[in-house]
Amino acid sequence: MAKEKDTEKKSKKAAEKDGSSNYDASSITVLEGLDPVRKRPGMYIGTTGPDGLHHLITEIFDNSRDEAMGGFANDIEIALLPGNRIRVTDNGRGIPVDIHKQTKVSALETIMTVLHAGGKFGGETTGYKVSGGLHGVGASVVNALSVYMKVVVHKEGGVYMQEYSKGKRKAAVKKIGSTKQHGTIVTFEPDPEIFKEGINFEWHRVVGHMRQQAYLVRGLHISIIDARTQVPTFGQDDEIFFLRETGVDALSHTFFFEGGLVSLIRFTNQLLKPSHKSIFYVEKKVEGVESVEVALQYADDVSSRILAFANNIHTPEGGTHLTGFKTALTRTLNTYAKNNNLAKASEESFTGDDALEGLTAVISVKLREIQFEGQTKAKLGSMEAQSAVATVFGDAFAAFLEENPEEARAIIGKVILAMKARKAAKAAKDSVLRKGALEGMTLPGKLADCQSSDPADSELFIVEGDSAGGTAKQGRDRRTQAILPLRGKILNIERARLDRMLGSEQIKNLVLALGTAIGDTFEIGKLRYHKIILATDADVDGAHIRTLILTLLYRYFRPLIDAGHVYIAQPPLYKVKRGKEILYFYDDASKTKALGKDFDDAVMADAEAEEAGIKEAKDSLLEAAGAGSAEAEEDENEGGAEVAGKGKAPKVSIQRYKGLGEMNSDELWETTMDPEKRILKQVGIEDASEADKVFDMLMGDDVPARKSFIQSNAKLATLDI
């Protein structure tokens, strides 16, 4: 007992010493103002990587866009300025600048520095029937995460301005002039302490999002200007309202679409062959929902492209509006097919996947009281949207099919073809996967598997051909690295259905090696390797094979890319031997940087010197030292012959690798497979809709579009001729 009491006393003293027992009110930290945002930015913008960085623009733009949705603005400009600054201008009503009764400071300062303060809570009293902003945190979050922010308001004849840093005001709101304009200008510079991965706003990403928004708000002009190469003072003058009016010579785009969602469908399907001419469109207001808009068209394709929006916010994870759409689509198609004897009575009903194949659709709902899941608004949670979309779309689409019998037959024919392909694919999967399992042949014979059974430690190298496969098998770490050689070029699956795909031996081997199955039986939890590394040759054929594999992974194994499991190996392009020193370079730039501008000239001079004088010097050396002597052979191997007037210099040689098969196993391990030294590029998808269009264009059937792309970008290509 005495020992137990002693131990208890010692534990208590130790606890008091490290403070763990003093858990009282003084232990509670209260973050004031915008400090919570800086402490946990991921809660508000999702990530501090590129996605979160670009989300800052979206938050500020959404405020301007909401003014346009309310009918108070029709012009928005986004400018990328020098010094990582973004400037967003609208010709709306202008943020109020009068004193707020509750906070006792300007309403502008309240909106920019206080969480959950904004004009979206008052409903029709503020003029916002619908809006994307819900919680009043967007502008203040951007302010908190910016090292600099300035807001200029043109309102009721006056120009007002306030500046901030890291969420705190620099001074009170002040009037700086008079104006005939009306609207708001917000300029901000993200804080590098928050965005540690770097601040790099991607032009194509900003343009793509703004183009999408212009389709969703008919009659709205959206301009984007890339003025990052202009002088540092450009755009900082408070007297400039729209920068494009200054006539500055900068990259710019302006979007204005009167067709709305119908125009967006045409744009999305521009590289595809439509299955029917007319684009279906409906817009209607129902009780509890301000607007339901749906547009769709089927195309000759095996993939679907569905964009869903709620109060003009893109919801990539879908939600209740998308659920209502899919339910109504499948039900309506089944009903029409059976009522018009377009489907055999003996055949089963269409499934949701059958109805979605080849479909391009846009669903947009606008609600007064909207609920998203999380501040980043990736998924709609408002239950009233589901029934509203199902009712409005279902009734209108049924009427469209009845009124357009030719279009209806084309659509039903497309869905029936998808149903037949699904059944054939199921039979093919059963043959490949289940039969293989029963026969104990779950892994392809060409796969050299690794010893580890832990997917987190395991890597699969997909290599080009048996030669590279043999070298990789010899050079690998057998414990964690598996090798799968593919023979030749795999099938281009961009227009191939699953049953035809699984008839390809190479694709079948890859499916079995991954372990996830494919199609509706795909399970990412069964993935056998958490690093799937494409290691093809650095030539045109290697690039083509890599593109074919990426197309397969994008279309049928997209979750692997989304989860960050797909990589591209970077084998060296050059092996440089200078005497006994061996150097590897992965591109021309690194070679030039390391060895100097005149390195290639020096190698050429060395080669010319060897042709002109080395043989003569070698003969003299052999004559003096005795033919076949060890010293002479050593000098020959080192390339250290004394050439008149040049002195002794190590021989330099360059080897340009064309393929992995040219390397020996030690070289391949050291340069491409060793986790401590290798360079891998992780494959990701920044813009899924843009990626989809690129795959359609480069791997699809539209030859003129592909030819135009090649001609337009030919000068950007690095050719190995």
What mean pLDDT comes out for the span 236-255?
Answer: 77
Q: How many CB atoms lie within 10 A of CB 201?
A: 20
What percent of the chain has a predicted confidence (pLDDT) above 70? Answer: 75
pLDDT at residue 21 in the model: 53
What distance lies between CA 135 and its chain's CA centroid? 27
Q: Can you name the residues that pair with 295 across neighbouring β-strands?
A: 281, 362
Per-residue confidence (pLDDT) for residue 40, from 0 to 100: 83
In the chain, what percentage of residues exceed pLDDT 90?
41
The mean pLDDT value of the chain amounts to 80
**Alpha-carbon gap, residue 96 to 91, rounded angstroms:** 14
Between strands 566-569 and 531-535, the pairing is parallel
User: Where do the DSSP E strands lie in 399-522?
Assistant: 459-464, 481-486
Mean pLDDT of 443-471: 90
- Residue 31 pLDDT greater than 50, yes or no: no
Mean pLDDT of the region 520-526: 86
- pLDDT of 569 higher than 50: yes
Residues 169 and 163: beta-carbon distance below 8 Å: yes
Q: What is the pLDDT of residues 634-670, one digit of tens each?
A: 444 444 444 444 455 567 788 888 778 788 899 899 9
Query: Quick one: average pLDDT of 244-266?
Result: 85
Place of tokens 């001074």: 171
Report the pLDDT value the prediction gives residue 446, as an integer from 0 to 100: 85
Per-residue pLDDT at 301: 85
Question: What is 2-45 written as a DSSP string?
Answer: HHHHHHHHHHHHHHHHHTTT--SGGG-----TTHHHHH-THHHH
Q: Which is nearest to 591 in space by CA: 676, 656, 649?
A: 656
The pLDDT tens digits for 367-413 are: 988 888 765 678 898 899 999 999 999 999 999 999 999 999 999 99
Average pLDDT score over residue span 15-31: 50
Q: What is the mean pLDDT of residues 165-185?
A: 93
Residue 191 has pLDDT above 80, yes or no: yes
Higher per-residue confidence, 658 vs 174 = 174
| Max Cα distance, the chain (Å) | 105
Catalytic residues: 464, 537, 539, 541
DSSP state of 525: G
* Residue 424 CB-half CA count within 13 A: 14
* pLDDT value, residue 721: 46
Residue ranges of domains in the chain, CATH in brackets: 37-255 (3.30.565.10), 261-423 (3.30.230.10), 574-656 (no CATH), 689-721 (no CATH)
Least confident of 15-29, 214-228, 283-297: 15-29
Distance from CA of residue 367 to its chain's centroid?
29
**In contact, 313 and 372? CB cutoff 8 Å:** yes
d(Cα 230, Cα 307) in Å, to the nearest integer?
A: 36
Residue 512 scores a pLDDT above 70: yes
pTM: 0.64
Residue range 334-379, pLDDT digits in tens? 999 999 988 775 577 899 999 999 999 999 999 988 888 765 678 8
Residues 59-79 have pLDDT tens digits of: 999 999 989 988 899 999 999
Per-residue model confidence (pLDDT) at position 37: 86
> What is the predicted pLDDT for the residue at 467?
84
Predicted confidence at residue 688, as pLDDT, reads 58
Query: What residues does 294 pair with on adjacent strands?
Result: 282, 363
Runs of H (alpha helix) within 184-232: 203-216
Assess contact for 570 and 548: CB atoms under 8 A.
no
Lowest model confidence (mean pLDDT) among 75-79, 460-464, 580-584: 580-584
The C-alpha atoms of residue 113 and residue 36 are separated, in whole angstroms, by 12
Q: Name residue 207's amino acid.
A: V
* Per-residue model confidence as pLDDT tens digits over 479-490: 999 999 988 788
Is 608's pLDDT higher than 60?
A: no
Alpha helices for 247-314 (secondary structure H): 261-268
